[in-house]
């Protein structure tokens, strides 16, 4: 009997991509492959790429380049590259020219056809290069191989209509479309039945769910999902501040399954920069939204995304960002240096900021964010929290999990606690990590 063939997937980018890699894994299982941890021994290697920033792209390019030697030794190995990078205009051809040993190139709109492409490649010598311009209708036949038990991700929208001036996502993910509520609810019901304990609803802007259709609004959908029987936690990302409503705050307040932690990317604390970014809110609008959220959910924590070095960003603009971060007191934040993306409006703006300036700014910002996170962490010592155990940290030899605010805690356990809700007394804080004992 021949040994079962195996696959290995390398994922870059956002949660959406992580989940899409689970869908890719599902398809490869259907083709008879099994998952393996070692790229060197895999029969199929898939790179699920990201192009949100230049370094995400470079990272993927570098890793694909490193496979040249391996492919020369293992001629039957199939290398596939998909996701946002090849979806950009002209990039698939670019990739093919640069890495002629890549066997399959596919985009974001035809990910569900990867099975077909791999089968096709097995019958022909020529590379299979398929990138579709049109997003078409939503494909509902995914059978993801979920790898993050007890957490599970569920798409509610695909694509984005916002065209923030710096962002490539609308170009590589197409126009926003919402899944039917009945399909979303059925998927969550099934996951909860299977024992998943944390469900995260995914979309580039979940708050605009259902726009332009007769579907439910996002708060309505969220409440329906929260009403599904069983003990589980519910999260959602990402919320665009312009569409964050009081109705949503009320839904969070009255449904105990919804975590009191909202990711609300602000990007900048300067009105002028926000305008140039096409974010469609002012700093004042944003603060008002947070006030509304806190009015209904006083213990709600807020996390955010921030960009420094957007074209024309002055020292004053940057100071305004620091001030906003202090004012809101984020529990954590993803911080990025602006990266020029060809084809976006901001790429053509004058006064691109020199790298040295952005570097200084990002360091200051990271320091501020870390100090906020550290202060909040030390405030946890002595408190009792309920966490959902999600993993065993092999290095630390400790189990770990998050509370509803998303904070990671480590603890000892004699039994395998993964998937259990565990009550911990926090005994120590170290940077962003907390350590506790079971009570």
Binding site for ligand SAH (CB under 6 A): 14, 52-53, 166-167, 169, 204-205, 238, 240, 265, 267, 305, 307, 336, 338-339, 341
Of the pair 205, 377, the CB lying nearest ligand SAH is at 205
Q: Which does 217 bind (CB under 5 to 8 A by kind): ligand F3S, ligand SF4, ligand SAH, none?
A: none
Can you tell me the distance from the alpha carbon of 419 to that of 370, in angstroms, rounded to the nearest whole number? 29
Check residue 258 and report its DSSP letter. Answer: B
Q: Which does 23 bind (CB under 5 to 8 A by kind): ligand SAH, ligand F3S, ligand SF4, none?
A: none
Query: Which CA distances in Å does 229 have to 76, 180, 190?
Result: 48, 20, 11
Can you tell me the distance from the alpha carbon of 39 to that of 7, in angstroms, rounded to the nearest whole number? 8
Which residues neighbour 70 within 8 Å (Cβ) at sequence distance 6 or greater?
39, 40, 77
Of the pair 219, 265, the CB lying nearest ligand SF4 is at 265
Neighbours of 158 (CB within 10 A): 21
Dihedral Cα 245, 249, 254, 257, nearest 10 deg? 110
Residue ranges in 218-277 that form contacts with ligand SF4 under rule CB under 6 A: 240
Residue ranges in 166-185 that form contacts with ligand SF4 under rule CB under 6 A: 167, 169-170
Q: Which does 163 bind (CB under 5 to 8 A by kind): ligand F3S, ligand SF4, ligand SAH, none?
A: ligand SF4
Quick one: tokens of 168?
């490539």
Residue ranges in 76-95 that form contacts with ligand F3S under rule CB under 6 A: 83-84
Quick one: tokens of 308?
């420094």
Strands lying side by side in the sheet with 44-49:
34-35, 6-11, 44-49, 78-83, 104-106, 128-130
Of the pair 169, 226, the CB lying nearest ligand F3S is at 169
Residue ranges in 162-221 that form contacts with ligand F3S under rule CB under 6 A: 168-169, 172-173
* Residue found by looking up tokens 């356990």 in the block: 413
**Shortest distance in whole angstroms from residue 341 CB to ligand F3S:** 9
**Shortest distance in whole angstroms from residue 56 CB to ligand SAH:** 10
Residue among 108, 151, 204, 239 that touches ligand SF4 (CB under 6 A): 204
Residue among 164, 188, 216, 322 that touches ligand SF4 (CB under 6 A): 164
Can you tell me the distance from the alpha carbon of 236 to that of 198, in angstroms, rounded to the nearest whole number? 11
Residue among 163, 193, 334, 430 that touches ligand SF4 (CB under 6 A): 163
Query: Which CA distances in Å does 151 have to 202, 412, 419?
Result: 13, 21, 9
Tell whether residue 16 is a contact of ligand F3S (CB under 6 A).
Answer: yes
Residue among 52, 188, 365, 417 that touches ligand F3S (CB under 6 A): 52
Instruction: Annotate 173-203 with b (16+ C-beta within 10 A) or e (fewer).
Output: bbebbbbebeebbebbeebbeeebbbbbbbb
Can you tell me the distance from the alpha carbon of 402 to that of 178, in angstroms, rounded to the nearest whole number? 29
Q: Which does 50 bind (CB under 5 to 8 A by kind): ligand F3S, ligand SF4, ligand SAH, none?
A: ligand F3S
Positions in the binding site for ligand F3S (CB under 6 A): 13-14, 16-17, 50-52, 83-84, 168-169, 172-173
Positions in the binding site for ligand SF4 (CB under 6 A): 160, 162-164, 167, 169-170, 204-205, 240
């Amino acid at each position: 009997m021949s040994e079962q063939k195996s696959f290995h997937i390398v994922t870059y980018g956002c949660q959406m991509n992580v989940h899409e890699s689970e869908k890719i894994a599902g398809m490869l299982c259907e083709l008879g492959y099994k998952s393996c941890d070692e790229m060197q021994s895999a029969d199929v290697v898939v790179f699920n790429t990201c192009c949100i920033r230049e370094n995400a792209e470079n990272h993927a390019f570098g890793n694909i380049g490193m496979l040249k030697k391996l492919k020369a030794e293992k001629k039957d190995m199939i290398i596939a590259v998909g996701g946002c990078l090849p979806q950009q205009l002209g990039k698939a051809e670019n990739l093919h020219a640069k890495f002629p040993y890549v066997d399959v190139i596919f985009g974001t709109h035809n990910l569900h056809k990867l099975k077909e492409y791999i089968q096709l490649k097995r019958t022909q010598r020529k590379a299979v290069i398929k990138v579709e311009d049109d997003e078409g209708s939503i494909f509902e036949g995914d059978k993801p191989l979920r790898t993050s038990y007890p957490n599970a991700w569920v798409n509610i929208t695909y694509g984005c209509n916002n065209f923030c001036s710096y962002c490539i996502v609308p170009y590589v993910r197409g126009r926003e479309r919402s899944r039917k509520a009945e399909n979303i609810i059925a998927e969550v019901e099934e996951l909860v039945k299977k024992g998943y304990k944390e469900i995260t609803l995914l979309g580039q802007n979940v708050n605009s769910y259902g726009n332009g259709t007769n579907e439910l609004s996002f708060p309505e959908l969220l409440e329906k999902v929260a009403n599904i029987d069983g003990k589980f936690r519910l999260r959602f990302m990402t919320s665009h501040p312009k569409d964050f409503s009081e109705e949503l705050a009320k839904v969070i307040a009255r449904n105990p399954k919804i975590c009191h932690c909202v990711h609300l990317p602000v990007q900048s604390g300067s009105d002028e920069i926000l305008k140039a970014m096409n974010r469609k809110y002012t700093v004042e609008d944003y603060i008002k939204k947070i006030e509304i959220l806190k009015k209904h959910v006083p213990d709600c924590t807020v996390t955010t995304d921030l960009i420094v070095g957007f074209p024309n960003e002055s020292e004053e603009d940057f100071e305004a960002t620091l001030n906003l971060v202090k004012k809101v007191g984020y529990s954590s934040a993803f911080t990025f240096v602006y990266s020029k993306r060809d084809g976006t409006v901001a790429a053509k703006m004058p006064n691109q900021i020199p790298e040295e300036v952005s570097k200084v700014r990002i360091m200051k910002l990271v320091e501020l964010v870390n100090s906020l996170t550290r202060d909040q962490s030390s405030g946890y010592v002595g408190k009792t929290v309920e966490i959902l155990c999600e993993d065993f940290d092999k290095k630390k030899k400790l189990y770990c999990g998050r509370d509803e605010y998303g904070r990671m805690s480590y603890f000892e356990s004699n039994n395998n606690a993964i998937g259990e809700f565990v009550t911990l007394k926090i005994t120590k804080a170290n940077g962003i990590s907390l350590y506790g004992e079971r009570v």
